[in-house]
A and B are shown apart, each in its own frame.
Chain A
Amino acid sequence: MAVHQYVNSLQELEAAIEQFQKISMQVSSTPSRHENTEHLINDFPIFIIVSGTKDKKGVSWCPDCEKADPVLEEAEQSLAPEPSAFITVYLTREEWKNPKNVFRTDGRFRLTSIPTMLKWPNREPKLVEAQCADIEAIKEFFDECCPQVQD
């Protein structure tokens, strides 16, 4: 289960990240290790998906984004680390095709294709294009970003 925000620009993305970083999520510990105690955690992964805007019919101009959509949603529900936050950035075709688009040029992203999913604030590892529609790749990605560690 995750919380999801949808934004349309870098400014909105930065604001959303800041908001997520301010909130605390309540989560209970693994039952096998302790008694069921609930505690607040401030440090949860924030995943950013950069995707193409959808038209009035809800179809994206970006075919790979269209394919990835349902898979990413499924992954968010059943595979994402707990808890985690997601932010999807929607770019129009004109915005993305512009070589000066901030998501291509900004050193924090340097995207070369969409859809791309990465874990803030790391540029690597990341899922690109067809990988975003590959549930196995997404599973590996979550495991690589948030490796299970011994308590």
Chain B
Amino acid sequence: MSVLKICTKSFAASLGRQSERSVKKIYRISSSFRTFSTEGKLEYDLVVIGGGSGGLACAKEAVAQGARVAVLDYVQPSPRSTKWGLGGTCVNVGCIPKKLMHHASLLGEAIEDARSFGWRIPGNAEIDWLAMRDAVQDHIKSVNWVTRVSLRDNKIEYVNGRGRLADANTVVATLHNMKEVLLKTKNVVVAVGARPKYSTAIGAQELGISSDDIFSLEKPPGKTLVVGGGYIGLECAGFLNGFGYPSTVMLRSVPLRGFDQQMASMVVNEMEGRGVNFICKCVPESLSKTPDRRILVKWNTTPGANGGSGQGEDVFDTVLFAVGRKAVTDSLALEKAGVETHKETGKIFTTNEQTNVPNIFAVGDVLHRKPELTPVAVQAGRLLARRMFGNDKTLMDYDNVATTVFTPLEYGFVGLSEEESEKRHGPENLEVYHAFYKPTEFPIPQKDMSNCYIKVICLRREPRTVLGMHFVGPNAGEVIQGFSAAMKCRITMEQLLDTIGIHPTVAEEFTRLTITKRSGMDPNPQACCS
């Protein structure tokens, strides 16, 4: 019971002409904690653990197929105590805020470019970190809310609690008030995703942040060290640098490991040209606080590496670790049902999203050796629900999934890298078409075009099926999307070159490719429209 007393007299007096009519009578009422049935168990056809891209897509489709579904979602606070709402990584600390901040960063550049096109813009454009962050967070909160409303509209029970297995048919949800709810279910889908890893350097967890924290950082990041050369590290360093915060990227080995390395080097060249500092083949050894509350980082050459930037130290305002993500399977008690996971990564082994336990499935970033992308998780989740509760037998196709790295100059691709193509088919069976190109809008503001490059890898023998398409340039995501549909139709080089381009665009460059690597000819553009 709680009693609410306020000083009615002085309160009423201070209300002026509102006076007593607006002061309600005080009376005792019982506490209104959010109640949840804890007696007995609740029966479901499907319990989804994880309310992110994959989990929600699966749940909504399952309900559409007539199943009774509950979704559990819970966010373990980051080491910096950052938390967020429903929707998973993509909505809260991934794709959405990333793309917004990348866009915000490019807008600053556009303001400067505008002068060359005749705009009179007084003064210098400066980013207000808090205003930008608040705009982004506002948007995220609206998505959290829309997601929540959508679950209710779809009659999906939403439990804001931490899930674990008691056995193959029982999920236990631990709520905020530590109460436990038992959910009996015919099927389980694990869609818990992953969270950032920290380096083992001394002081990393205490003083560093991760992508979990950057999008809601309470003060401007200042001079930043990003540890990690994967797409998360490069994208973050990219937009931070664009905002005017001096940025450094520390790479343990190579940038965008596993991606086409020639394209990766273009991306890095572009970032270097924009002022991002790269420390190569090094790992941080220690982080410590300086007297003026900044962070002193000491680093050394990666064990076993040759060359690189070598040992060093510097002081930063922010250190962001982007050294990989670990699947959040440790606390799920998967062993209670006997679900097999990878010892080191914690990821779940599946065949067509089914684990070794027949009624337990998984989708999204938690899967072993599958692309960690929202649209992949969404499609896999949807198809899985249709197979589980509908009559559809369609399996998920994980091949030829297009993706884009949203660095300042973006890199979009679909299909295989040149390295992977060579591995599978042998270099003698491949033809690689390539070209540098000049976006029409770049020369006037004197933007650097030296990294605007495209590459198409195809088989040399008929039919010359296209194996991979790679693009570094502006709006790479928009450029590549349509081509992934073409790849799905197994487009050949002849068909691609028979396609007429839209002029003037950057995407049309794919239809103008003539020079192969094998010919040794200069891939630089000669003239505009020839």
Residues of A within 8 A of B (CB): 1-7, 16, 19, 23, 25-28, 30-31, 38, 77-83, 122-126, 131, 136-137, 139-141, 143-144, 147-150
**B176/A147 in contact, CB under 8 A:** yes
Is the CB–CB distance between B7 and A125 below 8 Å?
Answer: no
Kindly state whether residue B31 has any CB partner on chain A within 8 Å.
yes
Interface CB pairs A-B, < 8 A, 12: A1-B4, A3-B6, A4-B24, A27-B2, A28-B3, A30-B31, A82-B2, A123-B142, A136-B152, A137-B149, A147-B160, A147-B176
CB of B298 closer than 8 Å to a CB of A? no
Asked whether, in the complex, the Cβ of B29 is within 8 Å of the Cβ of A1, the reply is yes
Q: A1-B27, A124-B138 are in contact. Are A26 and B14 (CB under 8 A)?
A: no
Residue B141, interface by CB 8 Å: yes
Interface residue B18 (Cβ < 8 Å from any Cβ of A): yes
Contacts of B24 in A (CB 8 A): 1-4
B294 at the interface (CB under 8 A from A): no
A26 to B8, alpha carbons, bound, how many Å? Answer: 12
- Chain B residue numbers with a CB within 8 Å of A77 are 29
State whether A148 touches B138 (Cβ < 8 A): no
For B131, the closest partner residue in chain A by CB is: A107
Q: Which residue of A lies closest to B27 (CB)?
A: A1
Q: Which of A28, A31, A140 contacts B149 (CB 8 A)?
A: A140
Question: In the bound complex, do residue B141 and residue A28 qualify as a contact, i.e. CB atoms below 8 Å apart?
Answer: no
Complex interface residues of chain B between 1 and 48 (CB less than 8 A to chain A) = 1-7, 11, 14-15, 18, 22-24, 26-27, 29, 31-34
Q: Across the two chains, which residue of chain A brings its CB closest to B140? A: A124
Nearest Cβ on chain B to A102's Cβ, whole angstroms: 19
Contacts of A137 in B (CB 8 A): 149, 152
Question: Does more than half of chain A's interface fall in helix, strand or loop, or is it mixed?
Answer: mixed
Contact A26 B145 (CB under 8 A): no
- In the docked arrangement, what's the CA distance between A140 and B11, Å? 30
Q: In the complex, A3→B3 CA distance in Å?
A: 13
**CA separation between A140 and B158, bound complex, in Å?**
10
Q: Once bound together, how far apart are the Cα atoms of A136 and B29, in whole Å?
A: 20
Q: Assuming A140-B149, A144-B148, A148-B34, is B18 touching A27 (CB within 8 A)?
A: no
Interface membership of B306, Cβ < 8 A: no
On chain A, the residues within 8 Å of B160 by CB distance are 143, 147
Contact residues in A for B511 (Cβ distance below 8 Å): none
A25 to B3, alpha carbons, bound, how many Å?
10
CA–CA, A38 and B141, complex, Å: 34
Contact A131 B18, beta carbon cutoff 8 Å: no
Instruction: Give chain A residues whose Cβ lies under 8 Å from the Cβ of B526.
Output: none
Q: In the complex, are the beta carbons of A125 and B32 less than 8 A apart? A: no
Number of interface residues of B (CB under 8 A): 36
**Pair B1/A140 contact, Cβ less than 8 Å:** no
Q: A1-B26, A7-B18 are in contact. List 10 more A-B contacts (CB 8 A).
A: A1-B4, A2-B24, A4-B22, A28-B2, A137-B149, A144-B145, A147-B176, A148-B33, A148-B177, A149-B176
Contact in complex: B142, A25 (CB < 8 Å): no
Complex: how many Å from CA A19 to CA B12? 11
Contact, CB under 8 Å: A6 / B3 = no
Residue on A nearest B86 in the bound complex, by CB: A144
**Assuming the A-B contacts A25-B6, A26-B4, A148-B176, are A81 and B32 also in contact, with contact meaning beta carbons closer than 8 angstroms in the complex?**
yes
Most A CB contacts (10 A, CB to CB) among B2, B138, B152 go to B2
CB closest chain-A residue, reference B158: A140
Among residues of B, the one whose C-beta sits closest to the C-beta of A2 is: B24
**Residues of chain A lying within 8 A (CB to CB) of residue B152:** 136-137, 140
Cα–Cα, bound, A131→B150 (Å): 12
Q: Is the CB of A5 within 8 A of B141?
A: no
Min distance, Cβ B37 to any Cβ of chain A, angstroms: 15
| Shortest CB distance A106–B (Å) | 14
Taking CB as reference atom, which chain B residue is nearest A78? Answer: B32
Contact A3 B27 (CB under 8 A): no
Q: B481 an interface residue at 8 Å Cβ cutoff?
A: no
CB distance from A111 to the nearest CB of B (A): 13
- Whether B5 pairs with A5 at a CB distance below 8 angstroms is no
Measured CA separation A23–B12 after assembly (Å): 11
B16 nearest CB across to chain A (Å): 8
Interface centre among A4, A23, A125 (most CB of B within 10 A): A125
For B22, the chain A residues whose CB sits under 8 A away are: 4-6
Docked Cα-Cα span, A137 to B26, in Å, equals 26
A125 touches B6 (CB 8 A): no
Q: How many whole Å from B5's CB to the nearest CB in chain A?
A: 4
Q: Would you call B85 an interface residue if the criterion is a C-beta within 8 Å of the partner chain's C-beta atoms?
A: yes
B178 within 8 A of A: yes
Kindly state the separation between the CA atoms of A6 and B18 in the bound complex, as whole angstroms.
7
* CB-defined contacts of B85 to chain A, threshold 8 Å: 144
Contact status of A23 and B2, CB under 8 A, knowing A1-B24, A81-B32, A140-B149: no
The docked-state distance in angstroms from the alpha carbon of A4 to that of B3 is: 17
Taken together as a complex, chains A and B put the C-alpha atoms of A122 and B137 apart, in Å, by 10
The reply to whether B4 and A124 contact each other, CB–CB distance below 8 Å, is no
Is there contact, CB below 8 Å, between B176 and A126?
no
> Across the interface, do B34 and A3 meet the contact criterion of CB distance under 8 Å?
no
Q: Known contacts being A4-B24, A125-B145, A140-B148, is A82 close to B5, with CB within 8 Å?
A: no
Q: Which residues of B from 159 to 211 have beta carbons under 8 Å from A?
A: 160, 175-178
Report if B144 contacts A (CB, 8 A).
yes
Task: Please name the residue on chain A nearest to B10 by beta carbon.
Answer: A23
Cβ contact within 8 Å between B18 and A31: no
Chain A: minimal CB distance from B73 (Å)? 12
- Bound: A141/B148 CA distance, A: 9
> Once bound together, how far apart are the Cα atoms of A19 and B31, in whole Å?
25
User: What's the Cα separation between A81 and B33 when bound, in Å?
Assistant: 8
Q: Do B6 and A26 touch across chains, with their CB atoms under 8 A apart?
A: yes
> CA A136 – CA B152 in complex, angstroms?
9
- Chain A residues with CB under 8 Å of B11's CB are 3, 19, 23
Residues of B within 8 A of A6 (CB): 18, 22
- Cα of A77 to Cα of B32 in the assembled complex, Å: 10
